[in-house]
Amino acid sequence: MANSLPTDSGIVIDGRYRLIAPLGIGSGGQVYLADDIRLRRQVAVRVIQRPYAENPSFLEQFCSEAEKATALDHPNLIPVYGWGEKELPYIVTEYLSGGTLRELLDTVGSVSPSQALLIGIEISKGLEYAHKRGAMHFMLKPENIMFDFESNIRIADLGIASILSGLEMPESEKQIKEQYLSPEQVRGRRSDQRSDIYSLAVLLYECVAGSHLTEQSEAIDDGNSLGKQLDPDPEIFGSLALPLVRASAVDPNERPTAGEILQILMKATASQSRPEPLPVLTGLEVENSISLHEDPTLVDLIKAPDNDGRFTRLIKKIRRRINRWIWLVLMLAVVLGTVGITYLASQDNVEISSKVIPEVAGMTAEEFTESIGDYWNLQEALDRLDGTLPGTILRTEPEAGQLLEEGKEITYFVSQGPELRPIPKNLIGIKLSDAEALLLGAELSLGKVREELNEDYPAGVVVSVSAREGEMPTGTPVDLIVSLGPVLRTIPADLIGAISEDAQTQLVLEGLQYQVVEIYDETIPEGAVISVEPESLAQVLRDTVVELRVSLGPAIEE
């Protein structure tokens, strides 16, 4: 854990996230490694600077996009754990120790085409998942591609990158971002999911070409190199060349979707050799970081509450009133105490016993307590993990296998069952098949389906979710209520012979429509209904048009 700034250590955001070390400066603020005090895990916290927090429009958009990002859950996306705006806007994500693709390229220069294919396939998987749910990135670049400690590839800032892109950034950073913009973004035209595909192509091109793309862009000041179709050399790029050409088409309609580019890249691997492992370096590296105390735009986070200020002033007042002789007595007590402790510590007959913490995952708390007795001081905490049984121990802190002195504290985490998954919020008003797909994407399942007549929704559409909570354990069935459509209407029996206006009123009260057809009739008086179609007492759908044949009386002879 290198280069941690002591002035930032211990600052707590929103009463929950204790900052450990700055990781770097991002768009509009700084990213920190932090401890989630409540769940006892390390996270990454991006803090947005105060000037942007005071912009109501930005704040509203930030909260909206952060809320949407929490619903995205895919192995190739960095999960958003939470967000807030209590002191300053912040967003909390998983902490990844493997660094970014930019750092990897800065270290090794370039990667092989087969390694670039591997990177492209993993990014495409994440984009396909996000695009199907209406989420776009719009700022895809090596700085937003990260690795965990097992070298797995994750996309960062998906869902919030579009609002962060509007924040003020250094000119050098702005130039880097522009290299990955699609032609429609460069020209200020409407952008959609296909813009991410173009950015992916430029990113993969750079992975193989190394710094060539950056140098080429910097050599042209007028910006004409931006938004062009790539022309990769097949001798260098191999089977990756054709996918890059297709994905970088200037016309967005000619680019493949995320799912299609995934299939194209996977087919391209057939003619490539097996890729070498990516040289990912794990560990915390801090560069160009700033202290909260040194940045006046972040000072809100380190303001002490008013009660703390009154307490501090009271202590100072008391200290000023303590006589000098009392301080001398206190100093004498400290000296005597130090001598006593030193004497006791020098005795050789005091032995400190230690044991190795056993592996207790899967045990119950009772079994763990009985196995160690009173040797350590045990503290219980609750957690959730997919694939575990409620009541069983997940892990300990310190971890199993470590040597720990007698009487020290061990915290053991007891499972409450599978992790909680948010129920998708857009289930109502869509078809049952689409609702089932959303539930599966949220790692839940379709439960019982009950059908009901409904005046507001057509048949086959979800009208209600039978769940009281907004979150449910992984795999839990979610019950839905599906519309059978409106109640069938009955055509009134007494329309024939009735006055046309009365018949029309009866049809409207039944939720039906009507069309009047006037014809001459020798026997039926003028204005009376001769017949109806469909016929009386027929069962029809709401808003069905009923034809009323109305008499004009006898024909006028010329």
Place of tokens 């990912």: 280
Partner residues linked to 551 by β-bridges: 519
Nearest to 50 by CA among 17, 28, 83, 18: 28
Place of tokens 């069935």: 477
pLDDT for position 344: 55
Q: Give, for all 558 residues of the chain, the pLDDT tens digit.
A: 333 344 455 688 888 888 888 887 766 678 889 999 888 889 999 888 777 777 787 788 888 888 888 888 899 999 999 888 877 788 999 998 888 999 999 999 999 999 999 999 999 999 999 999 888 888 899 999 999 888 899 999 886 766 665 555 555 555 656 788 999 888 888 888 999 999 999 999 999 998 545 444 444 344 455 678 999 999 999 999 999 999 999 999 999 999 999 999 999 988 888 888 888 876 544 444 444 445 454 555 545 444 444 444 455 445 545 555 565 566 667 667 666 665 555 554 445 578 888 888 888 988 888 888 888 888 888 888 888 889 999 999 998 888 888 888 999 999 988 999 999 988 988 999 899 989 988 899 999 999 988 888 888 999 999 887 788 899 899 999 999 888 888 999 888 989 989 989 999 988 899 999 999 988 889 999 989 999 989 988 888 899 999 998 888 775
The SS3 call for residue 93 is strand
pLDDT for position 47: 87
CA 199 to chain centre: 20
Cβ neighbour number for residue 51 with a 10 Å cutoff:
12
Contact (CB, 8 A) for 378 and 412: yes
Cβ neighbour number for residue 71 with a 10 Å cutoff:
19
Nearest to 165 by CA among 184, 185, 183: 185
Question: Which amino acid belongs to residue 74?
Answer: H
pLDDT for position 286: 44
pLDDT for position 461: 92
Whole-angstrom distance, CA of residue 480 vs CA of residue 307: 50
Question: Which amino acid belongs to residue 55?
Answer: N
pLDDT for position 38: 87
Whole-angstrom distance, CA of residue 281 vs CA of residue 162: 29
The predicted model scores a pTM of 0.51
Nearest to 118 by CA among 283, 256, 280, 281: 280
Strand blocks (E) in 56-212: 80-84, 90-94, 145-147, 153-155
Domains for the chain: give ranges and CATH numbers. Answer: 12-97+284-294 (3.30.200.20), 101-271 (1.10.510.10), 354-415 (3.30.10.20), 420-483 (3.30.10.20), 489-551 (3.30.10.20)
Whole-angstrom distance, CA of residue 107 vs CA of residue 103: 6
The SS3 call for residue 142 is helix
